[in-house]
A and B are shown apart, each in its own frame.
Chain A
Amino acid sequence: MVAFILSRVLQAFIVMLGVAMIAFSLFNYVGDPISNLVGIQTSAEKREQLRESLGLNDPAPVQFARFISRTVQFEFGISYQQKRSVSSIIAERMPATLELSFVSALLALFIGIPMGVYTALNRNSWLSHAMLSLSLVGVSLPTFLIGIMLIFVFAVQLHALPSFGRGQVVDLGFWTTGFLTASGLKALIMPSITLALFQMTLIMRLVRSEMLEVLRTDYIKFARARGLTRRTVNFGYALMNTLVPVITITGLQLGSIIAFAIITETVFQWPGMGLMFIQAIAEVDIPVMSTYLMLIACFFVIINLIVDLLYYFVDPRLRVDRGW
């Protein structure tokens, strides 16, 4: 067991090191870091001086070690475009993305699970068929298209909801929140639905298939035979037993929500980290790009590690062997 945990941690570590290496090479070898920092008039002598003082003439392993040590202290360098530290940009953008992702995850869970339960219990009702067909559309349609359609209907045609930005936000010092103002909440509606839709359909289909599986088992038949109410059987027994995989999948999907936020944020011009990343690619702002790269990789690695370890504790079969 210790060996398993160690191997997972080691793998996570190697992945992070690999990503850091990519980020470092981007940083150092793509374009000239110096000419991105100084103006055109700077003399060659000055440039060389700056190069020496920044340690860009040191051997690559030394530079890489320095890069790592700076990274773990949250020093990610200066943005080429905005001329300020990347960590302050990230700190400014992070709340927007996290709030959007949080609301979307809640939406996906609290709409997806009831829909899944309904379609499993009423397999042949027209509403179930409608939900299932809709979910197929939801899976096949690209996220950005759903966002554009929503904007077209609710912002352009009906003028009911704002189409871009976060609305009015309240600054809490370390965090800016849109939860406290009416315009902030209104601005959240369309982006969060867009982002939640894919996960919602996924959760719905998962709950449905798990539920159908469980309803076929003997203990459910027995519970029915005992004369327990439908409600107790369906919700107390069946649903409870489907929730373990649902929770794990949702946990895993948390990372995807943050990744898909890149698309949603671009559609709605939501000032989060995803939009920042897309702008950084367009402007070849490498410090911002490589920081986002490391941040999102770190996020995924941690989530996967936690889920792996949780699986290990939840499912005893995994303790025997882990072959495909």
Chain B
Amino acid sequence: MSEVQIPDTSPARPGLLRQIWQSDLAHSFRQSKVTVVAGIISFGFVFIALFAPWIAPSNPYDMTGISVLNAFLPPVWMEGGDSRFLLGTDSVGRDILSTIMYGSRISLGVGVAAVFFAATLGISLGLISGYIGGRTDAAIMRVAEIQLSFPDILIALLIDGIIRSILGPGTHGNIAFIVVISAISLAYWVQFARTVRSTTMVEKGKEYVQAARVAGKSPGYIMFKHLLPNVMGPVLVIATINLALAIVTEATLSFLGVGLPPTQPSLGTLIRVGNDFLFSGEWWITIFPGITLAIMGLSVNLLGDWLRDALNPKLR
């Protein structure tokens, strides 16, 4: 058995992970400690959102598992705390930590869904606007311009209010989700549309688009097969930044009582419900979800800021 030692001198083909690790993006990620922390926290929230039913200490919405006898227990480090309930319990004896985990799941889920629909709408309208131009472009951009002159949260609130009054009182369950998600996505499509439109206008003059046109491809094919991949970079940045905004907007709507119902609470709903107990001394019911929301919003926001700076060298 001959031992042939082959020295590893081939740096030419590093593994995929190593490639990612050494990319410019990862480098700029590692450069900033704040971004690394924000990234880890965001990843943690994604993990909690995905696996809440398995990692939460209890299922707060399973009526058999909760007991009113455990209501209003303070966090474990305070007098009267119970070791089963790390962050205390709410007015019906639900474990706050578990409600926060389930709430983060809903907050993040609604945020992602809203951004997804906003991006879909914005990208489609932006592509159409930029590629077709003319009157279509003028009409879409005029609407965008008008909407841009109102604050996003106001638009979301107004749309939410209008849909609610059309549906009548008692907008519960899954309908509330649809209402909130559509209100937020209708409030946030503008930025996507404007960015995609301007990129499209640059791209459509290039040879490959002209070639596709000469080859007889339909406008729809050209838009989605050729132009779409080229506008995805900026879209990704806007999506990350808007995710933070969407989470905060959803929380605000829920806090105002026109968002998600207490039966399927997001962090905003938890804060709203807990707010009633702030004065009677049970501060943990509202403050802990509040802190969670703040950390979530801040870390996603920081991540978005970093992505924007990293992908846009002009801003450095």
Contacts and interface: CB of A to CB of B under 8 A. Distances in A.
B151 A142 contact: no
Nearest to B275: A148
A136 B302 CA distance: 9
B196 interface: no
A324 B165 contact: no
Contact of A266 (B256, B286, B290, B301): B256
A144 B162 contact: no
Interface stretch (B58-66, B204-212, B219-227, B247-255): B247-255
B26 interface: no
A192 B218 CA distance: 56
Nearest to A19: B158
A263 interface: yes
A6 interface: no
A22 B161 CA distance: 12
Chain B interface bracket (under 10, 10 to 19, 20 to 34, 35 or more): 35 or more
Given A259-B151, A284-B164, A141 B298 contact: yes
A11 B143 CA distance: 10
A258 B251 CA distance: 20
Interface string B274-297: 010011010100110010011001
Chain A interface bracket (under 10, 10 to 19, 20 to 34, 35 or more): 35 or more
A300 B168 contact: no
Contacts of B294: 137, 140-142, 145
A237 interface: no
Interface in A125-163: 136-137, 139-145, 148-149, 151-152, 155-156, 163
Contact of B287 (A152, A281, A300): A152
Given A142-B251, A143-B252, A30 B293 contact: no
A142 B278 contact: no
Interface string B185-223: 000000000100010000000000000000000000000
A151 B278 contact: yes
B283 A284 contact: no
B139 to A, nearest CB: 12
B198 A324 contact: yes
A37 interface: no
Given A142-B297, A148-B278, A304-B149, A293 B257 contact: no
B165 A262 contact: no
Nearest to B296: A140
B279 A26 contact: no
A282 interface: yes
